[in-house]
Amino acid sequence: MKKKITVITDTSGKVLGTQEGHGEVPDPRGGILLALVAAEGQRAHQIEYDVPEFHSAADLSKFHLQLAAHLKTAK
């Protein structure tokens, strides 16, 4: 299912972290407002993307590789 996500990448396009949402709306379950911020030399991307269920660290690593490839082709 497509979801709004924020993605932080380094200068080579490697995904460093992701967050569901774009940080402007509090989480409906907990009411917490949290936003990822890119540091110097990093880039924040706000996109919509199919986010799978994660069952292992390997699933998350694979997802980050897919996101990096998507962001490179989306430019």
pLDDT bin (cut points 50, 70, 90) of residue 29 is: confident
Of residues 57 and 24, more confidence is placed in: 57
Mean per-residue pLDDT, 44-51: 92
**Residue 31 backbone class (left: φ over 0; alpha: ψ -120 to 50; beta: rest):** left
Q: What is the mean pLDDT of the chain?
A: 87
Structural domain of 56: 2-73
Total domains, the chain: 1
pLDDT (tens digit, 9 = 90+) per residue, 8-23?
A: 999 999 999 888 877 6
Give the chain's largest Cα–Cα span.
35
